[in-house]
Chain A
């Protein structure tokens, strides 16, 4: 039994980061919320893990977390991968907060590269670990220039690059981290989440916070904010399609799938979100998923062909 966290029984501060730096990060988070999609520079203090391994998400988590929070962390949809386990242990050790795998029970969720399959509600905060916060970096190398482009909402080169991808390859090739327009003003990188998750950023109930530790940037999407994936009138944004594919463990579809390979090179599909899969397999219930038109299309297609084998 671990005693509850008291001020003076530990050799480090509650939630590891010192109070001065927390205040700085908190002020920047408020500014980020006031400017949806805008990247706020921040101090990105030293952490016991290297920058680029989730420090940005950790800074945000540790600056907002309180004693009553229930913490969940996922890495590529899984509660059990190395990055998630180690960061969960760390956050638990420095805050003594309750931790959970249950998406619905969590009040604060840190994530790497996925949004949970289960819909989040207005009492929850989702914190993203972001490797590259600048969506324009592929078309402009210099930070001073991209800042100007954002300031002037000069996104012509971004549109040209999408157009060129279409001309060369017949489609917009961006898979993970599909660029989005937030609140009609800033183009933002949603961190490398699959296209499957991108529509869930639009008009959500929960608050999204993004931390890029190595690049020293914070940004946010408040609830009920317009988030539109970049698309053309005649070339539309699409999510990943899994036509006729069923999860080999739960026998169902309509969720983002992993391909698992065996030694012979054969592969099978498994639902990527581990908590969603657990609930399907163990509790025989399908948790409430997000509602967006792209997912609805997939579910309609699945329900029209219920007999397909995995």
Chain B
């Protein structure tokens, strides 16, 4: 169990929330969550841990697809949030190369209260706005919708195509759906709110 001591729950949380909000309001804009050397358990990107530390508290629950015990202990110790099954959790921490089973079960809200849906935090290897910064297999995402001026292209490495297909199926009945945040190993984040549509091309 790690109790984070270098994390400032007032000012770090505020700064990171502003970056998450900026990315959420402008899908396709990559922001970097840095400045804090937290030590999350293995198989959790540092940016994903910082998202959890910024937004979780005792009012909400989370689900971790991999390494659930270590991540569960970590978030419980640092945020007083509690683990829950995927179908009930408010935050789902998934791996980009996972089977999309957790995502399939995630809460998508109701027509009268679509805000009672889950946030999905997905760890990927690399996020970039330009193609040449990534080597190896990658996906090309073209985002459009509220927050995007026209279209925005983002390149993602370490993300399973099946996960994106499931995400699109979850969000097909707008306003029902889930809101996702992708994080990479360089602390960058990319948000895909359910209001956005995306087209995937493999490269």
Whether chains A and B associate is yes
Question: Interface on A for B, CB 8 Å cutoff?
Answer: 7, 13-15, 19-20, 22-24, 26-36, 38, 40-41, 64-67, 122, 147-148, 150-152, 183, 185-186, 203, 207, 220, 222-226
Q: Are A33 and B175 in contact (CB under 8 A)?
A: no
8 Å CB contact of A19 from B10, B110, B115, B119 = B10
Q: Looking at the complex, which of B12-20, B35-43, B66-74, B131-139 is the stretch in contact with chain A?
A: B12-20
Q: Are A28 and B115 in contact (CB under 8 A)?
A: yes
Query: Chain B nearest CB: distance from A143 CB in Å?
Result: 10
The total of Cβ contacts below 8 Å across the A-B interface reads: 114
**Residues 63-100 of B at the A interface (beta carbon under 8 Å):** 90
8 Å CB contact of B60 from A14, A27, A29 = A27
B195 within 8 A of A: yes
**Residues 147-203 of B at the A interface (beta carbon under 8 Å):** 147-149, 174-175, 179, 193-195
Hey, which chain A residues are within 8 Å of B113, CB to CB? Answer: 41, 147
8 Å CB contact of A30 from B15, B24, B59, B60 = B24
Query: Chain A nearest CB: distance from B187 CB in Å?
Result: 18
Q: Are B9 and A19 in contact (CB under 8 A)?
A: yes
B102 within 8 A of A: no
Q: Are A34 and B18 in contact (CB under 8 A)?
A: no
C-alpha spacing A203/B148, complex, angstroms: 9
C-alpha spacing A262/B41, complex, angstroms: 70
**A33 with B15, Cβ < 8 A, contacts A28-B115, A183-B195 known:** no
Q: From A152, which residue of chain B is reached at the shortest CB distance?
A: B111
C-alpha spacing A147/B112, complex, angstroms: 6
Q: Are A223 and B111 in contact (CB under 8 A)?
A: no
Hey, which chain A residues are within 8 Å of B112, CB to CB? Answer: 147-148, 150-151
C-alpha spacing A231/B21, complex, angstroms: 32
Which one of A32, A36, A224 has the greatest number of beta carbons of chain B within 10 Å? Answer: A224
Q: Are A34 and B55 in contact (CB under 8 A)?
A: no
Q: From B91, which residue of chain A is reached at the shortest CB distance?
A: A27
B57 within 8 A of A: yes
C-alpha spacing A147/B111, complex, angstroms: 9
**A35 with B10, Cβ < 8 A, contacts A24-B57, A64-B21 known:** no
**A20 with B147, Cβ < 8 A, contacts A35-B114, A38-B114, A66-B11 known:** no
Q: Are B146 and A36 in contact (CB under 8 A)?
A: yes
Hey, which chain B residues are within 8 Å of A223, CB to CB? Answer: 25-26, 147, 149
**A35 with B21, Cβ < 8 A, contacts A23-B55, A224-B146, A225-B146 known:** no
B122 within 8 A of A: no
Hey, which chain A residues are within 8 Å of B8, CB to CB? Answer: 7
**A14 with B147, Cβ < 8 A, contacts A28-B115, A34-B195 known:** no
Q: Are B147 and A31 in contact (CB under 8 A)?
A: no
Query: Chain A nearest CB: distance from B102 CB in Å?
Result: 19
Q: Are B193 and A33 in contact (CB under 8 A)?
A: yes
Query: Chain B nearest CB: distance from A108 CB in Å?
Result: 10
Give 8 closest A-B pairs by Cβ, nearest first. A151-B111, A34-B193, A225-B146, A222-B147, A31-B115, A222-B25, A34-B179, A151-B112
Hey, which chain B residues are within 8 Å of A224, CB to CB? Answer: 146-149
C-alpha spacing A152/B112, complex, angstroms: 8
8 Å CB contact of A33 from B24, B57, B111, B148 = B24
Query: Chain B nearest CB: distance from A134 CB in Å?
Result: 14
8 Å CB contact of A14 from B11, B56, B115 = B11
Q: Are B195 and A27 in contact (CB under 8 A)?
A: no
Q: Are B115 and A23 in contact (CB under 8 A)?
A: no
Hey, which chain A residues are within 8 Å of B58, CB to CB? Answer: 20
C-alpha spacing A122/B26, complex, angstroms: 10
Q: Are B17 and A35 in contact (CB under 8 A)?
A: no
C-alpha spacing A222/B20, complex, angstroms: 13
C-alpha spacing A14/B54, complex, angstroms: 15
Q: Are A67 and B146 in contact (CB under 8 A)?
A: no
Q: Are B146 and A7 in contact (CB under 8 A)?
A: no
Hey, which chain A residues are within 8 Å of B110, CB to CB? Answer: 151
Q: Are B21 and A34 in contact (CB under 8 A)?
A: no
Q: Are B56 and A23 in contact (CB under 8 A)?
A: yes
**A19 with B13, Cβ < 8 A, contacts A35-B115, A151-B111, A185-B174 known:** yes
C-alpha spacing A264/B8, complex, angstroms: 60
**A222 with B146, Cβ < 8 A, contacts A23-B55, A34-B195, A66-B15 known:** yes
Query: Chain B nearest CB: distance from A59 CB in Å?
Result: 14
Query: Chain B nearest CB: distance from A204 CB in Å?
Result: 11
C-alpha spacing A226/B17, complex, angstroms: 25
Q: From B194, which residue of chain A is reached at the shortest CB distance?
A: A34
8 Å CB contact of A29 from B10, B21, B117, B193 = B21
